[in-house]
């Protein structure tokens, strides 16, 4: 285990005691996997690896703004709504109440996976409480992004914000309505009418409710048999000592409460999202794994203290193939930010790290870690929660020599070059938690655990 911090051994001991206690009380650990940065950390890949030993994989927030990539041999899968555990035959998959689900998107995703030979129907449950995303939400998302250039967020245009807003306004339509076509149609027509009033103000043509309903009705029929009480399903699995994995979408700094607001998504991407978005009591959250890239990326607008200049950002983007899995947009790239990552560890109670994309740094002469910020001649050890301050911070870097050697075939820690080990050591030291998993390529096999 990579341990360099003086108090790290103490942390490890506590973790072992916690796991031992769970074993003695005969509770199988539930594990939450959280993205620690601005999304796209490689959560899909890590979930797929961990799902080999999981009975159930649960998504608890977000929608098809997510794009989780899993590469198995030469085949590439990108999951948007369906948990990444679906690629392991023995895992049951659950779309929790905390999600916003586009019915047509879910049908398309299911059909695509089925075409690739993945068995889904009897392995997937959709929560009665998940809210539904329709064309009207996507259009409003797009109108806001194009008409308010000053406050543009750079969303994925998947209707996520408007759907969560409808949920909070208590006018949303939920997956339970898919089981009651007449009720669904009435609610849907009412929703479209209310959105048409908004579109009028933007000078946009109204939606044709008949046409929209004709598209939706077959999807509703297709999905209705999947709809069920996921809260009971999940809690029954936990009580039966099943291994349950919770798959976070997006990343900590996109959290609606704790992220870089307003440049965030509209759900809680942090660990608390599991309790509300899946209906799991906090005492059953046993282990939290933080997935973190060996550097940092961001898609969309908003502050990014360690962002590289255009030329170097482009070079890192090409090395890491940093293009959005959902929208294809180029990702902004920068150095590892230990200050902001410590904030992530604190908010989520992260137990261990899964470091991904180490191989992307293989060619660099010098690799930088941001160890503190400077603001108005003051050194800051913590991430400012005021976005005006965050926008002005200047990163203080520590330089590490690169290893200039390929890591893509490494099978264990000993296979890594010394400088790569030192770099990882420093990350573990700064975040004061151990690294448990290291990923050195996109494929399922390119990963190893640190015992
Ligand atoms: P997610 O949203 O967190 O699941 O991440 P994405 O799938 O959006 O983006 C991660 C990208 O990096 C995908 O293209 C993955 O195939 C790829 N990837 C994951 N882990 C590694 C790794 O260790 N090395 C490299 N080179 N690519 C990786
Ligand atoms: P995964 O799960 C990276 C970003 C968007 C935008 C902001 C708000 O693949 O890591 P939204 O459409 O949610 O209203 O957009 O959030 N964003 C993501 N960035 N990965 C994601 O998901 C993201 N989902 C949303 O780019 O900045
Ligand atoms: Mg992604």
Q: Is residue 313 located within the same domain as residue 214?
A: no
Look up the CATH number of the domain holding residue 41.
Answer: 3.40.440.10
Q: Is residue 290 located within the same domain as residue 378?
A: yes
Does the beta carbon of 177 sit less than 6 angstroms from any atom of ligand 1? no
68 is a catalytic site residue: yes
Last residue of a domain, one of 180, 210, 226: 226
CA distance 403 to 411: 17
Does the beta carbon of 158 sit less than 6 angstroms from any atom of ligand 2? yes
Does the beta carbon of 155 sit less than 6 angstroms from any atom of ligand 2? yes
**Residue 21 covered by a domain:** no
Last residue of a domain, one of 226, 260, 278: 226
Last residue of a domain, one of 205, 226, 247: 226
Question: At 147, is the pLDDT very low, low, confident or very high (cuts 50, 70, 90)?
Answer: confident
**Residue 376 covered by a domain:** yes
CA distance 63 to 80: 7
Does the beta carbon of 67 sit less than 6 angstroms from any atom of ligand 2? yes
**Residue 5 covered by a domain:** no
pLDDT at 27: 39
35 Cα to the center of ligand 1, angstroms: 12
Query: Using CA of residue 334, residue 339, residue 340, residue 344, what is the dihedral sign?
Result: positive
Does the beta carbon of 153 sit less than 6 angstroms from any atom of ligand 2? yes
**Residue 18 covered by a domain:** no
Q: Is residue 73 located within the same domain as residue 142?
A: no
Give per-residue pLDDT as tens, 337-347: 999 999 999 99
Q: Is residue 234 located within the same domain as residue 269?
A: yes
pLDDT at 15: 59
Give per-residue pLDDT as tens, 20-62: 554 444 334 899 999 999 999 999 999 999 999 999 999 999 9
390 Cα to the center of ligand 1, angstroms: 27
Q: Is residue 268 located within the same domain as residue 311?
A: yes
Q: Is residue 244 located within the same domain as residue 388?
A: yes
61 Cα to the center of ligand 2, angstroms: 12
The residue annotated as part of the active site, out of 68, 80, 258, 286, is 68
Q: What is the domain count for the chain? A: 2
Q: Is residue 221 located within the same domain as residue 244?
A: no
**Residue 290 covered by a domain:** yes
pLDDT at 76: 96
Q: Are 316 and 169 in contact (CB under 8 A)?
A: no
Q: Identify the nearest ligand to the CA of 249 by its number.
A: 2
Give per-residue pLDDT as tens, 330-382: 999 999 999 999 999 999 999 999 999 999 999 999 999 999 999 999 999 99
361 Cα to the center of ligand 1, angstroms: 14
The pairing of beta strand 366-375 with beta strand 435-439: unpaired
Give per-residue pLDDT as tens, 232-285: 999 999 999 999 999 999 999 999 999 999 999 999 999 999 999 999 999 999
Minimal CA–CA distance to 185: which of 221, 131, 159?
Answer: 221
Q: Are 246 and 274 in contact (CB under 8 A)?
A: yes
Q: Is residue 250 located within the same domain as residue 121?
A: yes
Structural domain boundaries, residue 237:
27-128+229-429+436-442
**Residue 1 covered by a domain:** no
**Residue 8 covered by a domain:** no
Minimal CA–CA distance to 267: which of 39, 84, 41?
Answer: 39
Does the beta carbon of 35 sit less than 6 angstroms from any atom of ligand 1? yes
Q: Is residue 347 located within the same domain as residue 268?
A: yes
Does the beta carbon of 356 sit less than 6 angstroms from any atom of ligand 1? yes
Give per-residue pLDDT as tens, 95-144: 999 999 999 999 999 999 999 999 998 999 999 999 999 999 999 999 99
**Residue appearing with tokens 């360099």:** 4
Look up the CATH number of the domain holding residue 174.
Answer: 1.10.300.10
pLDDT at 14: 60
65 Cα to the center of ligand 2, angstroms: 6
Q: Is residue 191 located within the same domain as residue 290?
A: no
**Residue 165 covered by a domain:** yes
Q: Is residue 389 located within the same domain as residue 292?
A: yes
Question: At 157, is the pLDDT very low, low, confident or very high (cuts 50, 70, 90)?
Answer: very high
pLDDT at 26: 36
Mutate to test the pocket of ligand 1, among 43, 49, 69 (most ligand atoms within 8 A of CB): 69
The pairing of beta strand 75-79 with beta strand 100-101: unpaired
Q: Is residue 33 located within the same domain as residue 60?
A: yes
74 is a catalytic site residue: no
Mutate to test the pocket of ligand 2, among 80, 82, 300 (most ligand atoms within 8 A of CB): 300
């Amino acid at each position: 285990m990579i341990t360099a911090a003086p108090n790290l051994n103490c942390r490890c001991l506590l973790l072992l005691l916690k796991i031992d206690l769970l074993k003695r009380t005969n509770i199988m650990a539930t594990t939450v996997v959280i993205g620690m940065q601005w999304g796209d950390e490689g959560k899909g890949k890590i979930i797929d690896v961990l799902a080999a030993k999981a009975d159930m994989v649960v998504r608890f927030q977000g929608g098809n703004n997510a794009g989780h990539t899993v590469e198995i041999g030469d085949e590439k899968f990108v999951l948007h709504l369906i948990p990444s555990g679906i690629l392991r035959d023995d895992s049951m998959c659950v779309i929790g109440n905390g999600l916003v689900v586009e019915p047509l998107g879910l049908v398309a995703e299911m059909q695509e996976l089925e075409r690739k030979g993945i068995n889904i129907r009897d392995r997937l449950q959709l929560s009665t409480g998940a809210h539904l995303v329709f064309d009207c939400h996507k259009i409003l998302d797009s109108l806001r992004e194009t008409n308010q250039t000053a406050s543009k967020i750079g969303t994925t245009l998947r209707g996520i914000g408007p759907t969560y807003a409808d949920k909070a306004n208590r006018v949303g339509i939920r997956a339970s309505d898919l089981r009651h076509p007449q009720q669904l149609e009435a609610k849907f027509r009412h929703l479209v009418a209310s959105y048409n009033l908004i579109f009028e103000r933007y000078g946009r043509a109204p939606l044709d409710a008949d046409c929209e309903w004709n598209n939706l009705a077959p999807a509703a029929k297709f999905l209705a048999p999947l709809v069920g009480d996921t809260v009971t399903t999940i809690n029954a699995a936990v009580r039966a000592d099943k291994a349950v994995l919770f798959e976070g979408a997006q990343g900590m700094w996109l959290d609606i409460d704790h992220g870089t607001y307003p440049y965030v998504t509209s759900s809680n991407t942090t660990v608390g999202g599991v309790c509300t978005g899946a209906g799991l009591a906090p005492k059953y959250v046993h282990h939290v794994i933080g997935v973190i890239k060996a550097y940092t990326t961001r898609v969309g607008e908003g502050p990014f203290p360690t962002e590289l200049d255009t030329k170097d950002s482009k070079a890192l983007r090409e090395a890491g193939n940093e293009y959005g899995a959902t929208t294809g947009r180029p990702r902004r790239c920068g150095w590892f930010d230990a200050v902001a990552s410590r904030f992530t560890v604190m908010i989520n109670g992260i137990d261990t790290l899964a470091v991904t994309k180490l191989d992307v740094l293989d060619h660099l002469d010098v690799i930088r870690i941001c160890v503190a910020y400077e603001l108005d001649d003051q050194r800051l050890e913590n991430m400012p929660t005021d976005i005006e301050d965050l926008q002005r911070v200047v990163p203080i870097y520590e330089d590490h020599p690169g290893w200039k050697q390929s890591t893509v075939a490494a099978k264990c820690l000993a296979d890594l070059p010394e400088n790569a080990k030192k770099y990882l050591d420093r990350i573990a030291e700064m975040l004061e938690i151990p690294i448990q998993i290291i990923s050195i390529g996109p494929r399922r096999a390119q990963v190893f655990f640190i015992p």
